Structure 1
């Protein structure tokens, strides 16, 4: 054999890993955590690409008449209602009746802001939902300009009503569509949207409202849709009261176009709808500002499906330039930007909607104007909109109004009112959420362990299917690969990789104590790292991260087998955008993490030195979040320990008063839709029960104050001790220390409940 070939063979043999018996050699090099995040990214993008093709299963094509079509697809309307956070729709609580609006004035200024021979402008306010009001301008035709139609004209969130009407700079004359519509014989309401200014913490106002609302099953889109829907209800009631059947329309640009599309799909009062600067392909919704993130949208809805819900009423789409919005990465806010969609993309989506309703009596093709680069509010778009409202209406020019009669509305004070009202609404919903969850859990029977196990199962399915989100993919064969990475006196360490889904794998470090006898089966502790962590932080003897105190190693030295998985919450925005990509599919990061852990547990159970009935979970920080969610969905974990995370979780995510709240921090991915109505940490612990459950809590941990931790844990204690009669299966350990693994009471808990003797002193 030539010398060169001998050298190559010797090198190849030297590079062969020393695998765990029963596994193939793991040869993959590079950063496996980075490869994991990249693989999940490809998996989710593929799911987004496939989503449009899966929507047909949700849509009924009964097109005999409008009534049959609407009735057959009522589940879709209700689903859209829910994911937009519209709970109950516009509701009057007290005060001004529905058929009246406030016209605002004060001791210095009368009600009229500006007027000429054809149009009068006043500031108005109306009840929208609970104590939340809509506010903005009303343009009223006057003189010879007959009032022939009513319109709600919605600006983008970067625009004020005054700018859109030409009362202050910011919008070109040809784009002042509320004024043109008013001069054309329409009474026009122009509502204010929450703007894109930022809080002192650098969180945009719209994201600030979104964060709390999303956790509580509400949404900024739903809150603002309620304002528009209330205005439409007022217009409808007002025309009926006058006995004049004036047609009603809704039109909007940018965020206003989005609201026009959604509100017209939800409520059929608008005869004509015009959407500008919004309509198109939603598959890149994850790149837009996070206040547009809608959980589960792409499961059933692209813009075409929403547009189909408007048929057979008229819909005009203007492919115009989109607002210039960019939230850069590197701050506390979720990065995102708006990118224009060209005319071909917009027309393709409109044709998809046309095909959905082809054959529905009265349904015409969606009219599309513009090429994606033209200014909004074009004469062509407005002309089609007015003709659809009333054939005799013609577009007038937006000749400027005379200077205002008095002071314009204080835009800062008005924006502050809008923000405060929604902040108070979120706080009110947060306060009610405990009672909502209690009602939600009424179906659990804790009269016996058998009854509890039976009645808790539907909640486990709801948690994974509706809250976390479950992929229907059949897992791949795990095809375990491993390599020995260190050999210590008391244990050996192996890197292990398992296949889960195409492009998705699980990997971690397995520590196997030495001295396991033939035929002996040991308990396993899965030791989970926290945010930006790695298995080496937990299980590598060469790494000593003080937050973890090498707890996987310490447990291995006590005789436990340990496995320390890599969870994908690493690399900052790279993993946070995974959540952004998962959410429109009705999924979350844990929709991938849970299948990874199912594969891990299944593989561990197959090892001949593992007792399959004694596999426990112990996680710190984000690993503590994992300890609440993964064992709740994976019953093969026989116990769970939550360290440095357990608290009143919904409060921590939704409160805008507490300094502990995630509303103010950079973890923009942390919010889970509608957790407030379903599963706080006490309810997640109920999904773990009657298996043993423990909380490890440092007094100086800044996750939450002791009082909030104890408050939520008291509910867990009541379930285990008072209702189920198993007080020995749960405990909490407070210790004097920070956000760290303490490893005292928790180790005793593991020895006791995994039935493994403690080492002698």
Structure 2
């Protein structure tokens, strides 16, 4: 026999979920209309019209400002021709990741791995699948590749996010600040790599990094988000039993929820802060992170900013026959069009 007190409490929990979800979803259009005023009459007018919203996003994830506290260290890695680059940014924290710079490379691609993965896996080391050695494929195509390390286990990330919120920042903001220090070091040691023209991409939580960092980092000239872009309202409002949207609640991924994120920032609004830079969304038909038809509809809402600025060819969605993985060859082709390697002496 069920306990009526427990039933009463569970009913209250369901009521709370429905209450918050209704605010999140039902009021979003009005909040966006009040907060945004996109002006697509010219690129400069557009940049000016979203400047306040960009600053609001910066305040929301609130990346700290780090700088190198000493010389960078190169640590051996099993990745061919790679180095594990490590830089102290605080007495208790460092920035690190794997860097491969092939001969003749002039362009850098940042590929951020997702949760449950590592920088080595980006280059085909360790557990196969999902990444399909995309880092090595990019190196073979003539790009330098940086694969930063992030905090990839769910429970430690939950804990770290709780601590970050208590001091007014976010883990994704801290990880952006760490990557910025790595980019500064790479610019110093590899001047042949264009320091102001970098590609940002990543799978899963690396797709999140792409969507969340690119609006705030002008050095990212193109962005490709893989296995993350979504109808964020439906994704975050879904309960743990919804099979279409792979709710973060199902795995108790509390780190995925940011204070007031869906006040005015769905994936379309964040994409508008990437515009007019080239932007690619990859999503596998069998990827459980989201429902492909809803993702396609969300992207059409995003695409209009590029279309209205007359650069619609820069925005692309690629829904492919696959799961939670990279379509490596399509990514390389897309980069070849919008971010050619321009190798020297090859």
Q: Which residue of 2 aligns with 1:191?
A: none
1:715 equivalent in alignment to 2:301: yes
SS at 2:107's partner residue? Answer: strand
1:663 equivalent in alignment to 2:246: no
Q: Give the whole-Å Cα distance in 1 for the aligned partners of 2:39 and 2:20.
A: 31
1:610 equivalent in alignment to 2:193: yes
Q: Which residue of 1 aligns with 2:50?
A: 456
Q: Which residue of 2 aligns with 1:507?
A: 96
Deviations 1:299-325, CA, capped at 9 Å, x for gaps: xxxxxxxxxxxxxxxxxxxxxxxxxxx
Q: Give the whole-Å Cα distance in 1 for the aligned partners of 2:153 and 2:283.
A: 27
Q: Which residue of 2 aligns with 1:535?
A: 119
Q: Give the whole-Å Cα distance in 2 for the aligned partners of 1:427 and 1:576.
A: 21
Q: Which residue of 2 aligns with 1:21?
A: none
Q: Which residue of 2 aligns with 1:679?
A: 265
Equivalent position to 2:137, from 545, 554, 562: 554
TM-score where L is the length of structure 1: 0.42
Q: Which residue of 2 aligns with 1:524?
A: 108
Q: Unaligned 5+ residue runs, structure 2?
A: none
- Following superposition, the deviation at residue 445 of structure 1 comes to 2.1
Q: Which residue of 1 aligns with 2:226?
A: 643
Q: Unaligned 5+ residue runs, structure 1?
A: 1-196, 199-409
1:752 equivalent in alignment to 2:334: no
- Following superposition, the deviation at residue 412 of structure 1 comes to 5.4
Instruction: Give the count of matched residue pairs.
Output: 338
Query: Relative to total residues, which structure has the larger helix share, 1 or 2?
Result: 2
Q: Give the whole-Å Cα distance in 2 for the aligned partners of 1:591 and 1:639.
A: 20
Structural mapping, 1:260-659, within 5 Å? 411=5, 414-415=8-9, 417-465=11-59, 467-471=60-64, 473=65, 475-477=67-69, 479-485=71-77, 488=80, 492-514=81-103, 516=104, 522-539=106-123, 542-543=125-126, 545-568=128-151, 570-606=152-188, 607-656=190-239, 658-659=242-243
Check the 8 A contact 2:141/2:341 in 1, yes or no. Answer: no
Q: Give the whole-Å Cα distance in 2 for the aligned partners of 1:619 and 1:542.
A: 16
* Structure with bigger RCO (C-alpha 8 Å, 6+ apart): 2
SS at 1:445's partner residue? Answer: coil
Check the 8 A contact 1:436/1:677 in 2, yes or no. Answer: no
- Following superposition, the deviation at residue 423 of structure 1 comes to 3.1
Give the 3 Å change call, closer, same or farther, for CA 751–425 of structure 1 in structure 2.
same
**Which protein has the larger Cα radius of gyration, Structure 1 or Structure 2?**
1
Q: Give the whole-Å Cα distance in 2 for the aligned partners of 1:455 and 1:476.
A: 34
TM-score where L is the length of structure 2: 0.90
Give the 3 Å change call, closer, same or farther, for CA 595–416 of structure 1 in structure 2.
closer
Check the 8 A contact 1:651/1:661 in 2, yes or no. Answer: no
Deviations 1:558-596, CA, capped at 9 Å, x for gaps: 11111111012x244223210011112232111211101
- Following superposition, the deviation at residue 478 of structure 1 comes to 6.0
Q: Give the whole-Å Cα distance in 2 for the aligned partners of 1:510 and 1:496.
A: 7
Check the 8 A contact 1:507/1:566 in 2, yes or no. Answer: yes
Give the 3 Å change call, closer, same or farther, for CA 487–583 of structure 1 in structure 2.
closer
